C-alpha cells in the first residue's frame, strides 16, 4: 500500500469512527457542543485554509463529514496551524517535517514536528490555562505548587534556541525494520523557547542531596482511555536538569506554546531524546532512584550497551538509557530530487550534536570520494543547531548526490550507515539529497 493511501485511509477511518475527534483534529476544535453552528469563526477559517478556498455554502456543512478536498489530498489529514508536515499517524498524532521545510535557522511553530504518545489534553485543545498548576515534589525540602503567573514571575525567564529531536528520528532507515513511527529525517526542530530555568525551579523547591533523577508527568491521556494509565513519564538525571539550558518553557517562538507542543508548559531538555522534553507538564517528581515511569524501562528510549548484529535479540539487562543524541546534519536546500540548470549550486543546512557542539560539516558530490568543508556558523547559544552553507560546482551534467557529514567537537563523525539497534534509535547516518544537473 502506498504511503498516500495509508494516510488517506487514516483520515477516512478517523472520520468514520470518531467524527467529533476528527473535526477537533482537523479544525482544532470540539464540535459536538454546537453541531448546528459548526462552520463559524475559527472553525470556518481553519477549514477554508485547509481546503484552500472560501466556502460559500458553509452554513450547510455538516459536522463530522470528511471534506472531500482533504480525503483526496495527498497526505490526507491536515493539522491546524501546520504547514507541509507529513503525517505518520493520527492517533496518537505523529507528523514530521520534510527536510527542505526546515531551512529556517529558527524553526517556526508551523514547521516543528509533532510526536504524541497519548491523547492531547483538553486544556491544550482549548488553549485555556485556567486552573493549571505545576507541582514539584519528592526529594525536595519545600514542595511547590506554582501557577502559570508564578512560574513566569518568580524566576528570571531565559529565551534560547534549542534543538529537540525524537530519539527515533531516522527509524525508517533500519534494516531489519524497527517497530515504531517510521520517521525519515524530519523529527527535529530548533525553535526559540522561553521559560524558567529548570535549575531555578528545583532550587526554589529545596532539592535535596538525595535527588538523583526527575520524573515528568503531563496532562495527556492514555490511548486506552484508562484514567489510571499514564502514556509516558520520563525524566533526566539531576545534573541534566540543573544544566542552564534545561528549561521549563511557557513560550515557543514568542507565543504561548501551541497545543501540539505542550500548552501551557513543558520541559525542554535540549540535546537529549525529545521524550525528555515533556509536554503539557503538571508535575515534576524528584526521585532518589532512576525514574521508572512508563517508557523509562525495557527497550523504550534505550539501546544495547554494545554493538549488536542486525536483527539480534538483546537481553533487557544489556540496554542503557539514551542520554545525549549523536552528531548529525541535515541538508535543507536544495530539496531532494532538485533539477539544477547550470554547473553551480548553493547548498544549506543545519548540524547539531546533542550535548556537544559541531566543529565542522563537510559535503561530497562524488559519493564520498572527496569532501569540501562548508562554512559553518557558530551556535547563537549552546544547544541550538548550527547552520552551514557551501557553493558546489558540478563538472558535467548528470545525476549527483550531495552528502553531508558533520563532525563534533570530540572528533566524532556521522557514519555512512547506522549501527542497528532493536528499536531503531539514534540513526545519525549522513543525509543525502539527489540533484540532477542539466
Ligand atoms: N506529555 C507528553 N510529553 C511528550 C510526549 C508525549 O507523548 N506526551 N512525547 C515526547 C516525545 S517522544 C517527543 S520526541 C517530544 C516531541 O515534541 P514535539 O511534539 O513538540 O515536537 O515530546 C515529548 N514529550
Ligand atoms: Mo520521541
**Does residue 402 sit within a domain?**
yes
CATH number at residue 337: 2.60.40.650
**Cβ-count burial of 334 within 10 angstroms (0-12 exposed, 13-18 middle, 19+ buried)?**
buried
Looking at the predicted structure, is the pLDDT value of residue 74 above 70?
no
Q: Residue 102 corresponds to which cell in the numbers above?
A: 526546515
User: What is the percentage of the chain residues whose pLDDT exceeds 70?
Assistant: 83
Say whether both 194 and 265 belong to one domain: yes
The answer to whether residues 278 and 241 touch, using CB atoms and an 8 Å cutoff, is no
Number of Cβ within 10 Å of residue 39's Cβ equals 20
Examine residue 427 and state whether it is found in any structural domain, yes or no: yes
Q: Lowest mean pLDDT: which of 77-91, 175-189, 232-246, 301-315? A: 77-91
Report pTM: 0.85
Closest ligand to residue 295's CA: 1
Q: Which of 232, 162, 239 is nearest to 195 (CA)?
A: 162
Which pLDDT band, with edges at 50, 70 and 90, does 205 fall under? very high
Alpha helices in 79-159 (DSSP H): 122-126, 148-154
Within its chain, how far is the Cα of 133 from the centroid? 24
**Grid coordinates standing for 405?**
557529514
Specify whether 283 is located in the same domain as 384: no
Range of the structural domain that residue 23 is part of: 3-78
In the predicted model, what is the mean pLDDT of the chain?
Answer: 90
Quickly state the pLDDT bin for 48 (edges 50, 70, 90): low
* pLDDT of residue 119 exceeding 60: yes
Give the residue-averaged pLDDT of 87-97: 92
Average pLDDT over residues 368-372: 95
Q: Which of 285, 302, 321 is at the close of a domain? A: 321
C-alpha 100/C-alpha 15 separation (Å) is 31
| Lookup: cell for 229 | 494509565
Residue ranges of E strands in 148-187: 158-165
At residue 47, the pLDDT reads 67
Bigger pLDDT: 145 or 45? 145
More confident residue, 34 or 120: 120
Pocket test for ligand 1, best of 107, 115, 215 (most atoms within 8 A of CB): 115
* pLDDT of amino acid 213: 98
Which pLDDT value is given to residue 2?
37
Residue with cell 525542554: 268
Inform me whether the pLDDT recorded for 270 exceeds 90.
yes
Do 119 and 218 belong together in one domain?
Answer: yes
End-of-domain residue from the set 260, 290, 321 = 321
pLDDT higher than 70, residue 53: no
Widest distance between CA atoms in the chain = 69
Residue 20's pLDDT is 67
**Of 171, 157, 176, nearest to 248 (Cα)?**
157
As a whole number, mean pLDDT of residues 298-315 equals: 95
pLDDT in tens, 380-404: 999 999 999 999 999 999 999 999 9
Q: Angle at the Cα of 65 (from 60 to 66), degrees rounded to 5?
A: 125
232 lines ligand 1 (CB under 6 A): yes
C-alpha cell at 177: 525494520
Residue 313 belongs to a domain: yes
Q: How many domains does the chain have?
A: 3
Task: Indicate the residue among 78, 96, 123 that finishes a domain.
Answer: 78
User: Does the Cβ of 112 fall within 6 Å of ligand 1?
Assistant: yes
Query: In this structure, are 127 and 159 located in the same domain?
Result: yes
Q: Whose CA is nearest to atom 10 of ligand 1?
A: 275
pLDDT at 5 over 60: no
Res 4 pLDDT > 50:
no
pLDDT at 36 over 50: no
Q: At what angle do helices 19-27 and 41-51 cross, to 10 degrees?
A: 80
Q: What mean pLDDT comes out for the span 90-118?
A: 96
In-domain check, residue 137 = yes
Cα separation, 323 vs 148, in Å, equals 29
Which-ligand-closest: CA of 294?
1
Closest CA to 276 of 259, 293, 251, 252: 293
Q: Cα separations (Å) of 398 from 362, 382, 391, 438? A: 22, 40, 18, 7
261 and 409, same domain (yes or no): no
Q: Does residue 94 sit within a domain?
A: no
Residues 245 and 119 in one domain: yes
CA of 110 to the centre of ligand 1 (A): 16
User: What average pLDDT does this structure show over 333-359?
Assistant: 96
152 with 225, same domain: the answer is yes
Best mean pLDDT range from 58-62, 188-192, 340-344: 188-192
% of the chain exceeding 90 in pLDDT = 79
Residue 238 clears pLDDT 90, i.e. is over it = yes
Provide CB contacts within 8 A for 153, sequence distance 6+. Answer: none
Amino acid at each position: 500500500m502506498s504511503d498516500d493511501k495509508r494516510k488517506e485511509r487514516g483520515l477516512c477511518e478517523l472520520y468514520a469512527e470518531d467524527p467529533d475527534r476528527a473535526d477537533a483534529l482537523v479544525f482544532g476544535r470540539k464540535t459536538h457542543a454546537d453541531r448546528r453552528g459548526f462552520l463559524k469563526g475559527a472553525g470556518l477559517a481553519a477549514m477554508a485554509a485547509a481546503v484552500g478556498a472560501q466556502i460559500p455554502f458553509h452554513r450547510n456543512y455538516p459536522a463530522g463529514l470528511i471534506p472531500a478536498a482533504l480525503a483526496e489530498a495527498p497526505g490526507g489529514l491536515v493539522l491546524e496551524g501546520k504547514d507541509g508536515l507529513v503525517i505518520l499517524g493520527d492517533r496518537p498524532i505523529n507528523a514530521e517535517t520534510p527536510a527542505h521545510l526546515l531551512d529556517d535557522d529558527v524553526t517556526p511553530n508551523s514547521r516543528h514536528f509533532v510526536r504524541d504518545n497519548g491523547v492531547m489534553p483538553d486544556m491544550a485543545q482549548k488553549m485555556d490555562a485556567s486552573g493549571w498548576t505545576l507541582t514539584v515534589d519528592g526529594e525536595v525540602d519545600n514542595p511547590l505548587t506554582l501557577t502559570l503567573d508564578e512560574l513566569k514571575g518568580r524566576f528570571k525567564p531565559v529565551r534560547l534556541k534549542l534543538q529537540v529531536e525524537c530519539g527515533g528520528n531516522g527509524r525508517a532507515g533500519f534494516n531489519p525494520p524497527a517497530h515504531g513511527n517510521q520517521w525519515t529525517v524530519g523529527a527535529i526542530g530548533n525553535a526559540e523557547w522561553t521559560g524558567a530555568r529548570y535549575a531555578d525551579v528545583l532550587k526554589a523547591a529545596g532539592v535535596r542531596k538525595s535527588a538523583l533523577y526527575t520524573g515528568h508527568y503531563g496532562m495527556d491521556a492514555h490511548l486506552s482511555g484508562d484514567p489510571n494509565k499514564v502514556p509516558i513519564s520520563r525524566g533526566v538525571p539531576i545534573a541534566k536538569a540543573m544544566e542552564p539550558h534545561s528549561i521549563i518553557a511557557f513560550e515557543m517562538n514568542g507565543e504561548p506554546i501551541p497545543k501540539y507542543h505542550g500548552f501551557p508548559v513543558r520541559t525542554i531538555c535540549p540535546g537529549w531524546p525529545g521524550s525528555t522534553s515533556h509536554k503539557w507538564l503538571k508535575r515534576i517528581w524528584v526521585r532518589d532512584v532512576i525514574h521508572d515511569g512508563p517508557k523509562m524501562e525495557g527497550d523504550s528510549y534505550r539501546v544495547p550497551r554494545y554493538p549488536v548484529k542486525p536483527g539480534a535479540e538483546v537481553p533487557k539487562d544489556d540496554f542503557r538509557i539514551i542520554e545525549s543524541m549523536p552528531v548529525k546534519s541535515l541538508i535543507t536546500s536544495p530539496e531532494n530530487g532538485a533539477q539544477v540548470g547550470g554547473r553551480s549550486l548553493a547548498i544549506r543546512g543545519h548540524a547539531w550534536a546533542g550535548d556537544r557542539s559541531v566543529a565542522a560539516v563537510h559535503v561530497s558530490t562524488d559519493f564520498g570520494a572527496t569532501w569540501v568543508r562548508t562554512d559553518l556558523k557558530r551556535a547563537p547559544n549552546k544547544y541550538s543547531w548550527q547552520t552551514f552553507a557551501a557553493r558546489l560546482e558540478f563538472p558535467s551534467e548528470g545525476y549527483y548526490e550531495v552528502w553531508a557529514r558533520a563532525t563534533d567537537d570530540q572528533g566524532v563523525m556521522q557514519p555512512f550507515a547506522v549501527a542497528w539497534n532493536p528499536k531503531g534509535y539514534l540513526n545519525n547516518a549522513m543525509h543525502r539529497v539527489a540533484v540532477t544537473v542539466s
